[in-house]
Structure 1
């Protein structure tokens, strides 16, 4: 779901955002999320953006009425008591949009609050998802919006998530000013993946899934078919599709296509290969197919992406 869906919230005055800190005040997941929003609140004024920060015990006693509510904790944080998590959920779910960041995503999903929802979870916590993996859909992306539910893998991705919220709610100019204040050059999109090898995410948990993705990553120029990949890792096509759906929230063919397009985007921005060469290097024999698929995923054409590299800095 696109963050453009948040546009109607920007008309609220004031827009009330609640951040529940269940970890340390200096943890990067918290600091990366709260600092851009604090700068936005200072620039826009309290009558436009009212940012509230609370502990879990404070939010249980607070009066609801937030438009966005997020439970935040670093991945190393010990979980809250189950009854406290349930109480926090009851308060937060009254918001128009709500969810978690870092370990907060895991706690919400484990409590059953993310049933059927695509969630962005820190890769280091994947091994703890077995109890609810059939109730929530893991996505390897940095952050996600699915229906009313936010999720962010935390860490440095909290900065990207927070700045994406700022742009969606208050516009590109406000975001640009905050980026300049924080010396942030580029905001990563929600569709970008956590840059950690799949083997590191799953370890021995799903070796055949890791093997399948490795085959994809090493065969971008001449893509394999889903049936070929399934045979090579010793699974049926249906078994492979089930693994991808359960752990990556996607079909193998879609995941493979996105890998190739992510690589193409990287080549467009970081090399001088022609657009045709980039397409061929990523398994697209047809220029029109490459352009259409690229536009469907990223919202612009390969030529427009290349122009970003060539454009002088603002």
Structure 2
């Protein structure tokens, strides 16, 4: 689901946004989330945004009615007690949109609240997911919105997540003002991936899945077929598709296409290669195919994406 769906909340005045800090106040995960949102609250005023920050002990005594609620904790944070976790999650789930950031995502998944939901989990916590019976769909993305469920891998991605929320809730002008205040040049989107080796993310759990994605990442200009990839990692096509569906919520062909398009988007924004060159570098021999696939994933054409690089924010 697109983050643009959150724009419906902009009509709620004031919009109540709850952050439950279950970790330390000086982590990157918390700072990256709270600083942009505090600036947004000061910019738009309390008549539009009421930002409420609470500890786990405080939230269980609070009056529900939030539009967005997030449980936040750094990936190294010790989990809450089972009783406290249940009480906090019950409060968070009363919001229209709710979820977690960092370890908060894992705690929600372990409580069975993310069954069948695409979640962005810190890669360092992947090894802690083996005992989750109500299986969530782990994605390598920085953050996700699936139905009412929000998730962010935390760390530096918390800043991108907060700025994306701000744009959808209060518009591009408010976001641009906060970006300027924080000296942020570019906001990474939800489709961008955690920049860490696949071996670290999946190697211990699913080495053949890790190998398959590595093959994709190293063969963007001349894509391999799904059958070729399956043969190279020693699996049948059906087995490979099952792994991708369970752990990445996608078919290998679709995941591969999105990898190529994400790389193309990065090249359009970060280099001066022509649009034709970018398409060829990412395995698209047809300009029309490149443009159509790019538009289906990102909602704009490669030419419009390049224009974003050239046009300063209003």
Query: TM-score w.r.t. structure 1 length?
Result: 0.96
Q: How does 1:7-46 map to 2 (within 5 A)?
A: 7-46=7-46
Question: Structure 2, unaligned stretches of length 5 or more?
Answer: none
Partner of 1:189: 189
Equivalences for 1:286-297 in 2 at 5 Å? 286-297=286-297
Superposition deviation, residue 134 in structure 1: 5.4
Instruction: Give 2:227's aligned residue.
Output: 227
Tell me: CA distance 1:136–1:303, structure 2 relative to 1, closer, same or farther (3 Å).
Answer: same
Deviation for aligned residue 1:154:
0.3
When residues 313 and 115 of structure 1 are mapped into structure 2, their CA distance, relative to the original with a 3 A threshold, is closer
The alpha-carbon distance between structure 1 residues 305 and 103, as it changes in their structure 2 partners (threshold 3 A), is: same
- What's the C-alpha RMSD, in Å, of the aligned pairs? 1.4
The 3-state SS of whatever aligns with 2:227 is helix
Deviations 1:168-209 (A, max 9, x none): 111111111111111111111111111111112123221111
**1:283 aligns to 2:283 (yes or no):** yes
Cα deviation for residue 141 of structure 1 reads: 0.6
Q: Distance in 2 between matches of 1:264 and 1:7?
A: 27
In the TM superposition, what is the alpha-carbon distance from 1:279 to its structure 2 partner? 1.3
Residue pairs, 1:128-207, within 5 angstroms:
128-132=128-132, 135-207=135-207
Q: Deviations over 1:251-294 (max 9, x none)?
A: 11111101111222222233333222221221111111000011
Answer yes or no: is the 8 Å Cα contact 1:134–1:246 preserved in 2. no
Residue of structure 1 in register with 2:304 after alignment = 304
Equivalents in 2 of 1:97, 1:206: separation in Å?
Answer: 32
Q: Offset of 1:313 from its aligned partner?
A: 7.4
Tell me how far apart the structure 1 counterparts of residues 311 and 13 of structure 2 sit (CA, whole Å): 37
Partner of 1:68: 68
Change (3 A) 1:312 1:150: closer
**Pairwise mapping of residues 45-124 of structure 1 onto structure 2 (< 5 A)?**
45-124=45-124
* Equivalenced residues, count: 314
Give 3-state SS (helix, strand or coil) of 1:36's partner.
helix
Post-superposition shift, 1:219? Answer: 1.4
Tell me if structure 1 keeps the 8 A contact 2:112–2:134. no
Q: Does the aligned pair in 2 maintain the 1:32–1:158 contact within 8 Å?
A: yes
8 Å CA contact 2:127, 2:204 repeated in 1 = no
Q: Is 2:29–2:158's contact at 8 Å kept on the other side of the alignment?
A: yes
Aligned equivalents of 1:71, 1:29: Cα separation in 2: 11
The C-alpha deviation readout for 1:4-57, integer Å capped at 9, x for no partner, is 111221111211111000000111111111111111111122121111111111
| Structure 1: distance between partners of 2:190 and 2:125 | 19
Work out the CA distance in 2 between the residues paired with 1:279 and 1:185.
25
Task: Report the equivalent of 1:255.
Answer: 255
Secondary structure at the counterpart of residue 26 of structure 1? coil
CA distance in 2, matches of 1:92, 1:32: 20
Is the contact between residue 97 and residue 148 of structure 1 (CA under 8 Å) also seen in structure 2? yes
Per-residue deviation, residues 35-88 of structure 1 (Å, max 9, x unmatched): 111111111221211111111111111111111100000000011111111111
Q: 1:4 to 1:270 in 2, by over 3 A?
A: closer
Deviations 1:224-265 (A, max 9, x none): 111111111011111111111222221111111011112222
Q: Any conservation in 2 of the 1:133–1:246 contact (CA below 8 Å)? A: no
TM-score (norm 2): 0.96
In the alignment, is the contact (CA less than 8 A) between 2:244 and 2:250 conserved in 1?
A: yes
> How many Å apart are 1:312 and its aligned residue?
5.8
Distance, in Å, in 1 between the alignment partners of 2:75 and 2:3 is 25
